[in-house]
Structure 1
Amino acid sequence: MARHNSNTIIKFAYDTTVVGLNTDNDETAYREEVRDLAGWGQNNNLSLNVTKTKEMIVDYRKRSTEHIPILIDGAVVEQIESFKFLGVHINNKLDWSKHTKAVVKRARQSLFPLRKRKTFGMGPEILKRFYSCNIKSILTGCITAWYGNCSASDRKTLQRVVRTAQYIIGAKLPAIQDLSTWRYQRKALKMVKDSSHPSHRLFFLLPHCKRYRSAKSRTKRLLNSFYPQAIRLLNR
């Protein structure tokens, strides 16, 4: 568990990610967290692979300062501009062009098998099932995390794949925008119903009202992210 409130430790299988929020150029808590994590590993007979450990810094200040590299067991941790986290490409600008390009490339590779099944005489219902399992699942993977801040050109590129699949199948398919809206609502409702969910407290009903309190956002990036959008959808 993270020792400092400004840090979060995310664990998945054998991967561990430390997320730190540094304010006023104070990186003390973040660096202590990394040091303690490395120490915990040694005490539990686990060694960190420093060559595979990366550090990514997100800094939107106009006058950004130079960040001193992190050291683990005396080895310097490489600073990178982007990395793939649980199948999602994240960069230090938090734009999603690289991720959407990777998604579109994978989805287009599945269009050929879809065409082949059409030539084999398979009907629209079977083709739609194939599309749902092999193409839509790729296009909508973790969509609630990245679609809100996609550029207009990236959204058009994603929708082009849907239109191509629709032409091959010969039946109407849901637009990528509608799929994202449905995923937002479904995820938000799960959080509202589950009081043990860490994000349950963010969905706060106004007094004597069925509407939820809107999330404050000073930037367009935050306004288009999951929680503000989910609350707006629930308030419709």
Structure 2
Amino acid sequence: MDFRKQAPPPTPVTIRGADVEIVEDYRYLGVHLDCKLDWTKNTNAIFKKGQSRLFLLRRLRSFNVGRKLLTMFYHSVLESVVFFAAVCWGSGVKIADANRLNKLIRRAGSVLGVRLENLEEVSERRMLKKLLSIMDNPSHPCTPIEAHAAKDSLPRNAGNPLYRWQ
């Protein structure tokens, strides 16, 4: 016998007189959004796409394509898939999912013969860049007056991708 209380169903959301349907997950612009903000389904889709692109990168290397062209292929084809909307999901992803994506990035780095930025570095840099762009825009609804004072207190090199928060 189960003695747990069952949560009441959420009240329906209405926008302009129309009820909004409640769904478990939704795909919007290629990003899988979950009702509990669990990014595992999104990470699985990214990993699957990334593996197929990594295969193409390896095939190019087997044809003795130059490193500059391989790097260009990585940035345009593989990196764009892996880091798409990382500002949205990058900090909320589970450690196991982040490790899977970082492993994919490390494999691509070994194909290229260079060390590539991992998921945490890229998402942190992009989130900081987004934050600074919001703070620079006085008409943005998320920019209170105090934000401009807070921006002045940030380190000068905070926008630099080589800068790491301590």
Structure 1 runs not aligned, ≥5 long: 1-61, 213-232
Structure 2 runs not aligned, ≥5 long: 155-162
Per the alignment, residue 32 of structure 2 pairs with 89
Q: Secondary structure at the match of 2:90?
A: helix
Report the CA distance shift for 1:68/1:173 in structure 2 as closer, same or farther (over 3 A).
closer
Using the TM superposition, give the Cα deviation of residue 78 of structure 1 relative to its aligned residue in structure 2, in angstroms.
5.4
Q: CA RMSD in A?
A: 3.0
Report the CA distance shift for 1:203/1:86 in structure 2 as closer, same or farther (over 3 A).
farther
Q: Secondary structure at the match of 1:90?
A: strand
Per the alignment, residue 203 of structure 1 pairs with 147
Q: How far apart are the structure 2 equivalents of 1:70 and 1:146?
A: 24
Moved more, 147-156 or 185-194: 185-194
Is 1:194–2:145 an aligned residue pair?
no
Per the alignment, residue 8 of structure 2 pairs with 65
Q: Secondary structure at the match of 2:27?
A: strand
Is 1:154–2:115 an aligned residue pair?
no
Instruction: Give percent identity, aligned residues only.
Output: 28
Q: Secondary structure at the match of 1:199?
A: coil
Per the alignment, residue 110 of structure 1 pairs with 53
Using the TM superposition, give the Cα deviation of residue 162 of structure 1 relative to its aligned residue in structure 2, in angstroms.
0.3
User: Which structure shows the bigger proportion of residues in strand conformation?
Assistant: 1
Using the TM superposition, give the Cα deviation of residue 70 of structure 1 relative to its aligned residue in structure 2, in angstroms.
7.5
Contact 2:90–2:119 at 8 Å: present in 1 too? Answer: no
TM-superposition CA deviations, 1:204-233 (whole Å, max 9, x none): 525xx9337xxxxxxxxxxxxxxxxxxxx9
Contact 2:26–2:32 at 8 Å: present in 1 too? Answer: yes
How many residues get paired?
A: 151
Q: Secondary structure at the match of 1:148?
A: coil
Is 1:122–2:65 an aligned residue pair?
yes
TM-superposition CA deviations, 1:111-134 (whole Å, max 9, x none): 111111111211222111111111
Using the TM superposition, give the Cα deviation of residue 174 of structure 1 relative to its aligned residue in structure 2, in angstroms.
1.5
Q: Secondary structure at the match of 1:156?
A: helix
Q: How far apart are the structure 2 equivalents of 1:124 and 1:197?
A: 42
Amino acid at match of 1:186: K
Using the TM superposition, give the Cα deviation of residue 68 of structure 1 relative to its aligned residue in structure 2, in angstroms.
6.4
TM-score by length of 2: 0.77
Contact 1:124–1:171 at 8 Å: present in 2 too? Answer: no
Q: How far apart are the structure 2 equivalents of 1:140 and 1:198?
A: 26
Q: How far apart are the structure 1 equivalents of 2:61 and 2:119?
A: 23
Q: How far apart are the structure 1 equivalents of 2:128 and 2:22?
A: 36
Report the CA distance shift for 1:185/1:78 in structure 2 as closer, same or farther (over 3 A).
closer
Q: How far apart are the structure 2 equivalents of 1:120 and 1:193?
A: 47
Report the CA distance shift for 1:77/1:198 in structure 2 as closer, same or farther (over 3 A).
closer
Q: How far apart are the structure 1 equivalents of 2:20 and 2:122?
A: 39
Using the TM superposition, give the Cα deviation of residue 69 of structure 1 relative to its aligned residue in structure 2, in angstroms.
6.4
Q: How far apart are the structure 2 equivalents of 1:205 and 1:85?
A: 35
Amino acid at match of 2:137: D
